[in-house]
Structure 1
C-alpha cells in the first residue's frame, strides 16, 4: 500500500486508548493527530542546521511512537536533508514492524528549487546543470533563481521526495508558495502555471504517486484582495475542477494560524461565487477543503512577551506553559492538524500533554477570535 488509509490510521490510534478523543480528527480519508510534526528550520544555510543533534530522525521516531501520525516536510527544507532524515526513520520503523505505511500521513511540497546539502559553491551552476541542462525547465520559467512550476520540474521534485522519504506514495503533495511568482510574473501567466501544475498532480494521482494535492502558502490566502500576492481559494478550486472534474483531488491547503496571526478565521477577504466575502475558514469548509495549520508558534516569535491571561483561561491551559497554550489555541479552530517543529524528542513528549486535554470550547474560540 502506497498511502495512509482509514483502516490503517484507525488501527494506529487504537494503540493510544488513554488519549482524549479530541486528540484525533477524522476527515473521511484518515484519522490524524491534531498536532503534527513539521520539519522546517529557519536560515537553512547555517552550518548549525546540519549538526548531528539538529536532526529530524529521532523526532520522527518519537512522534510516531507516541501517537503523532502526521508529518509535514518539503524538498527545499534544509536542502532535502529533512526528507532524508524522515525517510531513514520511516525505513527503520517499518522494517522493525513498529508501524506500517497505512498508519501515518505524510505531506511534502514542490515549487522551490531544493539544491542539496552540502550547499553548492555556485548555486546558479547547480541549477543550470541539474534543471536547465536536463530540460526540466527553461531559464525564464525559473523565477528569481528559486521557484519553478514547470510540470517536468515538479515531477523531478516529486520523485526526489519519494526517494528521500523511502516511500512509494505521498498522501498530500503541495504546490509550494505559488504566490511567490506573482511579484515577478504577470498574474494570468502564474494562474496558467498553477493550472498546468494541477493537471500534472491529477496525473500523479492516477499513477498512485500522490493521493491528494493542494497549495501550501504563507500569506496568499490571507492578504487583502488587491495585494500583489493574493490568491482566491474559490478560483483555485475552479482550476482544479477544470483539469480534474468534480471529483478532482485538490483537497488541502496549508496556511499559518496562530495567536498573533488568526486571519484565516476572522479576516473576511475571500470572495465566493455569490459575490460576497467570507473568511478563508468559511470558504474552505463550504467546499470540503481541509486546512492544515502551519506556523502555530510563529517560529517561536510568539513568546517575546507574556500571554494574555484570558487566552490561557479560555483555552483551558492556565497551569501550562505558553507553547502548550499556543498549540491548544491553534488546534482548536476546526482544522485537520496543527504543525509544530522540533528536533528535540523531549519537546515532542512535552507537547503530548495535549493528548489528554480536550479542545478549547467553540464558544471560547469565538470569544477569542471574533469577540463574541
Structure 2
C-alpha cells in the first residue's frame, strides 16, 4: 500500500525535477499531480507490452499515480498495472494505485456472446439481480462490487488498492429512479467501508462521466453532497468512525470545463457550488479524466487560454490547465507510448496557474 513515509521519500527523490506543487497531499502521503491512465487501447499482447513499458517509465521518472479499472481493456489493464508496479525501480509503497468497479469486465478478450457471459458470470453467479443491471453491462450491486475488489487484487497481484471507485454510478439512472440509485450507492459504499476496515483498500470514491458536472434537472445528475451523506450513513452502518469517501473523478479540460463552471451542488448553507469547488471546500480530492479531451488538445488549445498556460507543447499546456483548478489533486493522461509519457511527465516541470490567473480564464 502507499504509505506516507514511502511517498514522501519518492517526492524527495524526484521533487527537484518538477515545478511548484507538483506533488500534492493524498491519503497518508503525497501523489504526483499528473497521473497515468490505462483506458485506451486494443486488448492485445502488443498493447500490453507498450503499456507496461510506458508505466514503468512514468514510475521511474516521478509519476506515482496509476489509474485503472476492472473492465479496462477486458481486464488486461489491471494485470499490466501490477506488472509495472513490481517491475519498476520504485517501492510499491511509493505508488498510489486506483481502480474501479461498475462495468462487467470480460476476461482478456470480448466473448463471442457478451450477453451469455454476463448472465453466467454475474446473474447466475448471484452477484446482481436482473433489475440491478443497466444496459446489460453495469451494476453496483453489493455482491458484485465486493467480487470486483477481490478481482482487482487478484489481477494486479497487489495486496492493497489505494483508492477504489464506483464507476459511473449514474449509469443506473437508466433503469431506476434517482432515490433508488442513491440507495444502491449507499449499499455499495457499505461494501467499500468494510474493505477499508479490512485494509484491502485505502479509501474510495466515485468516478463519473456526467453525473457531477451537469445541472440538477439533467437525466444523469447526482448530487455530490447527497453522495457524501450516503457515505456517512454507510460508515455508521458498518461501524467505522468516519467515512472514507475521499475522491471524485470526472472530466475536466480546456474545452470541457463544466466541473468548474456548473454550480449544481447545494450546500447546507443554501449555496450552490460546482463539483470542483465543492471538493475544494469539503476536503475531497478531485482527479480529472479526459485531460487532453481524448487527444484533441494535444494538437491545439483555444487561443484565449493558450496564452496564459506554461508548457512547450499543447499537451503539456492542457495538462497544466487541468491540474491548476481548485480541488484538483491530479490530472490523468493516457500512457500510449514511452515518448508520450516523457512529454506528459515534462509538463510537471512547469508551474500550474495561480488562482487569480486561473479565475481570469473564466471572466
TM-score class, shorter-chain normalisation, is over 0.9
Range with bigger deviation, 14-23 or 324-333: 14-23
Range with bigger deviation, 110-119 or 240-249: 240-249
Residue 29 of structure 2: aligned partner? 30
Decide which of 349, 357, 363 is 1:364's aligned counterpart.
357
Aligned-partner Cα distance in 2 for 1:53–1:235: 40
Query: Helix, strand or coil for the counterpart of 2:162?
Result: strand
Q: Is the 8 A contact 2:57 2:338 kept in 1?
A: yes
- Tell me if 1:70 matches 2:65: yes
What displacement does 1:139 show?
Answer: 2.2
Deviation track 1:162-195 (CA, whole Å, cap 9, x = no partner) reads: 1111101111100000101102212222111101
- Give 1:303-322 correspondences, 5 Å limit: 306-317=300-311, 320-322=312-314
Deviation track 1:90-139 (CA, whole Å, cap 9, x = no partner) reads: 2333xxxx222210101000011011222111111111221222211222
Residue 175 of structure 1: aligned partner? 166
- Give 1:1-372 correspondences, 5 Å limit: 3-16=1-14, 17-27=16-26, 29-41=28-40, 48-50=42-44, 52-53=46-47, 55-93=50-88, 98-245=89-236, 247-302=242-297, 306-317=300-311, 320-334=312-326, 335-368=328-361, 370-371=362-363
Q: Is the 8 A contact 1:315 1:364 kept in 2?
A: no
Q: Is the 8 A contact 2:43 2:108 kept in 1?
A: no
Deviation track 1:305-361 (CA, whole Å, cap 9, x = no partner) reads: x433342221133xx221111111111113111000022011111222223211122
How many corresponding residue pairs?
356
Range with bigger deviation, 13-22 or 118-127: 13-22
What displacement does 1:77 show?
Answer: 0.6
What displacement does 1:78 show?
Answer: 0.8
Distance 1:190 1:308, change over 3 A: closer
Distance 1:99 1:302, change over 3 A: closer
Deviation track 1:212-245 (CA, whole Å, cap 9, x = no partner) reads: 0110000100111111110111000111111214
Query: Helix, strand or coil for the counterpart of 2:121?
Result: helix
Query: Helix, strand or coil for the counterpart of 2:202?
Result: strand
**What is the TM-score normalised by the length of structure 2?**
0.94
**What is the TM-score normalised by the length of structure 1?**
0.91
Aligned-partner Cα distance in 1 for 2:137–2:193: 24
What displacement does 1:294 show?
Answer: 0.8
Query: Helix, strand or coil for the counterpart of 1:228?
Result: coil
Aligned-partner Cα distance in 2 for 1:127–1:138: 11
Q: Is the 8 A contact 1:255 1:292 kept in 2?
A: yes
Aligned-partner Cα distance in 2 for 1:82–1:74: 7
Alpha-carbon RMSD across the aligned residues, in angstroms, is 1.6
Q: Is the 8 A contact 1:172 1:211 kept in 2?
A: yes
Aligned-partner Cα distance in 2 for 1:114–1:339: 22
Distance 1:310 1:14, change over 3 A: same
What displacement does 1:28 show?
Answer: 5.6
Distance 1:92 1:302, change over 3 A: closer
